[in-house]
Amino acid sequence: ESCGKLFSIRNKRPRPRLDDKIIAAWNGLMISAFARAAQILDDAAYLTAAVEAANFIRANLYDESQKILFRSYRGERSEIEGFADDYAFVIQGLLDLYEACFEPRWLKFALELQQQMDALFWDNAHG
């Protein structure tokens, strides 16, 4: 009975805001996890999830003509270009995905992103 009272009172409070944006870096981490899980557990469902996430990034967070990765997506791509962590984690995810399925497109995409990351973030004076 007391749980029911608490539940009804809690339902009257305003709900916390929902943060449902898709962040490139976090998806890169997820791609890595799913790709590795697919290999270790020999489960194609994890590989499918990794491929779907990588396809989403390519279609929605990457500008092919400018070779730029964007930071986030929420109904549409944000105008904020990716930070170093976005590039690094997506690249790692793509490399792990390549190692899981050996599809050259993922290695090619990782190399494109690495070249752009070097162009944007490399510091000749300090590395």
Task: Name the residue among 27, 35, 52, 37 with its Cα closest to residue 113.
Answer: 27
- Is residue 9 in a domain? no
Is residue 15 assigned to a domain? no
Length of the chain: 127
| DSSP-derived 3-state class of residue 40 | helix
Answer yes or no: is 49 within a domain.
yes
Residue 103 resides in a domain:
yes
Q: Tell me: the pLDDT tens digits for 24-42?
A: 999 999 999 999 999 999 9
- Dihedral, CA of residue 46, residue 117, residue 67 and residue 83, to nearest 10: 80
Domain assignment present for residue 11? The answer is no
Q: Would you say residue 71 lies in a domain?
A: yes
Taking only the tens place, the pLDDT of each residue in 104-120 is: 999 999 999 999 999 99
- Collapsed DSSP state (helix, strand, coil) of residue 20: coil
Q: How far is CA 45 from the centre of its chain?
A: 18
Enclosing domain of residue 63: 20-121
Domain count of the fold of the chain = 1
Per-residue confidence (pLDDT) for residue 2, from 0 to 100: 85
